[in-house]
Amino acid sequence: MSELSEDPTERARKYVAKFENALRSSTLVKNDTLVAPVSLRRVSDTMERYLRDARYYLNANKPTTALASIAYAEGLLDALIFLDLATTK
């Protein structure tokens, strides 16, 4: 098992890359009768904004803020999966 680096920049870059892979392999559920499509889109859009923020902060040499942003994005994706509102391949 490889050890995670404690360097915040390296860690943030890896975290962003892993999240991008997870996001590409996930699909939002289209026909959920309990959740309005607009609500799913809002969560999905927010997730994408957090990802963009993480990339921005990495490029701005603010890796700690990038880590916080990508963690928020991952939390939203996890919540959608746990609620069966998204699936993964």
Domain membership of residue 41 (yes or no) is yes
Domain membership of residue 80 (yes or no) is yes
Domain membership of residue 30 (yes or no) is no
The total number of structural domains that make up the chain: 1
State residue 41's pLDDT score: 92
Tens digits of residue pLDDT in 33-85: 788 889 999 999 999 999 999 999 999 999 999 999 999 999 999 999 999 99
Task: For residues 80 and 76, give the distance between their C-alpha atoms in angstroms, rounded to a whole number.
Answer: 6
Task: For residues 70 and 51, give the distance between their C-alpha atoms in angstroms, rounded to a whole number.
Answer: 6
Domain membership of residue 26 (yes or no) is no
Q: State which residues form the domain around 43.
A: 36-89
Domain membership of residue 28 (yes or no) is no
With a cut of 50, say whether residue 1 has pLDDT above it.
Answer: no
State residue 2's pLDDT score: 57
With a cut of 90, say whether residue 3 has pLDDT above it.
Answer: no
Domain membership of residue 63 (yes or no) is yes
State residue 66's pLDDT score: 98
Q: Which of 16, 45, 15 is nearest to 28 (CA)?
A: 45
